[in-house]
Amino acid sequence: MNSVSVQQQEYTPNPPKFWSEKDAGVTRFFVYILLLEDGELYVGHTRELRERMLEHRHGITSSTAGRNPSLRYFEITPTREAAMLREHELKQIVKKNRREIYRIITSFQDLVSELN
């Protein structure tokens, strides 16, 4: 994955304690980007990407409800803390350099197309 230059802000992930129990034994977490119907981007992380996508598509997630979310990008991290850090980094890129985030998405989609 290409390195992206973003001014780093101090960020320490602080997952709720109940996640620690549920995360025991989990060895992968997903960081993902959705494109919403209105052109906005949503960045999140989850233990289970399929389940989370169903929640987004069925309006269970209020921030994407009724906005026809479609998955545009994802990556896998080994821990929730790593996923939270990467989510924060991607959100900073979305805020500061939308062109860069679209480059990341396009590169990912090009790779998927090439492999299919």
Domain spans, the chain: 25-115
Q: What is the pLDDT of residues 30-80, one digit of tens each?
A: 999 999 999 999 999 999 999 999 999 999 999 999 999 999 999 999 999
Q: Whole-prediction pTM value?
A: 0.84
With respect to CATH, is domain 25-115 assigned 1.25.40? Answer: no
Q: What percent of the chain has pLDDT over 90?
A: 76
CA angle centred on 74, ends 23 and 81, rounded to 5°? 35
* Closest of 78, 92, 114 to residue 8, by C-alpha: 92
Residue 108: is its pLDDT beyond 60?
Answer: yes
Alpha-carbon gap, residue 71 to 110, rounded angstroms: 14
DSSP string across 97-116: -HHHHHHHHHHHHHHHHHH-
CA angle centred on 54, ends 41 and 34, rounded to 5°? 10
Residue 22: pLDDT band (50, 70, 90) is confident
pLDDT, position 17:
75
Residue 93: is its pLDDT beyond 90?
Answer: yes
pLDDT, position 81:
92
Structure tokens given for 74:
């994802």
